[in-house]
């Protein structure tokens, strides 16, 4: 009983604490903004609709102990507030998604049967095709839900996985008949391709760690060595064979090299969204500001433009192209700031996208009018009530009443 009283008391105090005007309040569920860390770290969330998609996928594809394992994986990656833990996401990707075969094991095989056993063990592939990891597919769904803000490092992951699938088909249908030596060399090429998603996992792990520069070092080292090492292997294979399908595949690999050489970590970031009232009425010709660039909403209240990811003190880590960039979007009318995206949800990697549907009450006079103030106060009151009940029931659950 004492714990319940304490919980109610703390929740009431929180309810009474003044909050910022609704004009300045970010357009997300209020309970995600109840705290501000001393150094705000970028955060990733999935939507409630996406959470339902994950639940439906688990119900449709798993039973018994495997169903519980699948749910545990999701719970480990996505918390009750639907926030995605990138470190846990990376750890699970490393467990359930394809990884390179150990080179010592690969180069020590003495027969095609031994090589087939290695491929089956590491990549889940035999003469019948992939033994698909449904756990891996479940985790990739979470990655795809947040891929827009991941930008170029998601592309690094996605392009390499697609090349991997193509390479396995080629390995079975075309390469293996050419003998063990060529097949082992080709598997070594696949290993090199799979170093890209491995770099993706390691990057996500290091991103929010105290030694953030390690994250940068991983990506720089990978991009410098990746193309050079694989090119040598490819040249070696082409000395011995002249197969058009293999050459076509290597051209795809070369296109991947070219993409890396083009430094995708410097690609612009797409800023898009809309500014409307809760009834769907468009805010026309209001200013949208992001990273020093300004545009206006169109007749539908929508906006789309690109910003340069030039790193600065607001990048994470600071002054590094490879990391995440603060793309906070501000909506203004005249000299009035109407709304901003929350800082922790405004970070994106180069080549990524920040999309935000702003909902802003619309008064006849944008200057401070009684109606404007009333609407803002009502919005603030509703947000505080929402925060109160969220906090209350969350803490009731914590102390084990329900």
Taking only the tens of pLDDT, the chain with its 402 residues reads: 444 443 433 333 333 333 333 333 233 332 333 323 335 678 899 999 999 999 999 999 999 999 999 999 999 999 999 999 988 998 888 888 888 888 899 999 999 999 989 888 888 776 665 655 788 889 999 999 999 999 998 998 899 888 888 888 888 888 888 889 889 988 988 888 887 787 777 777 776 666 655 666 666 666 666 666 777 777 777 777 777 888 888 888 888 888 888 889 899 999 999 999 988 999 999 999 999 999 999 999 999 999 999 888 888 777 777 788 999 999 999 889 999 999 889 999 999 999 999 999 876 444 444 455 556 566 656 655 555 555 455 555 444 444
- Per DSSP, the three-state class of 273 is strand
Q: How far apart are CA 50 and CA 217, in angstroms?
A: 33
CA distance 378 to 376: 5
Alpha-carbon span 72 to 76, nearest angstrom: 6
pLDDT reported for residue 362: 75
pLDDT of residue 219: 63
Q: What is the pLDDT of residue 23?
A: 30
CA 276 vs CA 24, 67, 202: distances in Å = 15, 41, 40
82 torsion bin: left (phi>0), alpha (psi -120 to 50), beta (else): left
Encoded tokens for 91: 């750890």
Pick from 269, 252, 184, 256: nearest CA to 222: 256
Please report the pLDDT score of residue 217 as a whole number. 65
Report yes or no: 328 and 290 within 8 Å, Cβ to Cβ: yes
pLDDT of 127 reads 64
Please, where are the H alpha helices in 208-264? 213-240, 244-261
Identify the three-state secondary structure at position 294.
strand
| Pairwise CA distance, residues 396 & 402, whole Å | 7
As a whole number of angstroms, the distance between CA 205 and CA 326 comes to: 20
In angstroms, rounded to a whole number, what is the distance separating the alpha carbons of residues 112 and 129?
A: 17
Contact residues for 344 (Cβ-Cβ < 8 A; gap 6+): 40, 41, 42, 43
């Amino acid at each position: 009983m004492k714990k319940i009283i304490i919980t109610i008391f703390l929740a009431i105090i929180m309810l009474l604490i003044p909050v910022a005007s609704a004009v300045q309040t970010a357009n997300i569920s209020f309970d995600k903004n109840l705290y501000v860390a001393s150094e705000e770290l970028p955060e990733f969330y999935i939507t409630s609709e996406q959470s339902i998609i994950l639940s439906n996928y688990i119900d449709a594809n798993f039973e018994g102990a495997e169903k519980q394992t699948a749910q545990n994986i999701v719970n480990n990656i996505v918390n009750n507030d639907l926030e995605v833990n990138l470190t846990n996401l990376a750890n699970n990707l490393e467990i359930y998604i394809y990884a390179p075969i150990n080179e010592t094991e690969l180069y020590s095989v003495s027969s095609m049967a031994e090589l087939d056993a290695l491929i089956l063990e590491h990549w889940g592939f035999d003469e019948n095709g992939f033994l698909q990891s449904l756990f891996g597919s479940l985790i990739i769904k979470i990655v795809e839900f947040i891929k827009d803000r991941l930008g170029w490092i998601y592309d690094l992951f996605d392009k390499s996985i697609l090349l991997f699938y193509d390479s396995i088909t080629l390995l079975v249908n075309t390469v293996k008949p050419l003998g063990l030596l060529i097949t082992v060399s080709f598997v070594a090429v696949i290993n090199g391709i799979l170093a890209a998603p491995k770099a993706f996992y390691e990057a996500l792990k290091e991103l929010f760690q105290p030694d953030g520069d390690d994250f940068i070092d991983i990506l720089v080292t990978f991009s410098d060595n990746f193309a050079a090492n694989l090119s040598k292997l490819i040249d070696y294979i082409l000395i011995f064979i002249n197969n058009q399908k293999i050459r076509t595949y290597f051209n795809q690999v070369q296109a991947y090299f070219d993409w890396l050489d083009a430094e995708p970590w410097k690609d612009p970031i797409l800023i898009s969204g809309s500014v409307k009232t809760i009834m769907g009425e468009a805010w026309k010709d209001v200013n949208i500001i992001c990273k020093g660039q300004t545009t206006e909403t169109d007749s539908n209240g929508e906006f789309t433009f690109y910003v340069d990811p030039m790193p600065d003190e607001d990048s994470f880590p600071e002054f590094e192209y490879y990391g995440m960039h603060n793309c906070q979007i501000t909506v203004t009318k005249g000299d009035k700031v109407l709304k901003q995206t929350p800082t922790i949800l405004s970070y994106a990697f180069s080549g990524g996208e920040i999309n935000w549907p702003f909902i802003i009450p619309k008064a006849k006079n944008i200057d401070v009018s009684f109606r404007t103030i009333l609407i803002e106060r009502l919005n603030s009151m509703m947000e505080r009530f929402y925060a109160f009940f969220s906090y209350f029931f969350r803490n009731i659950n914590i102390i084990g009443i329900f």
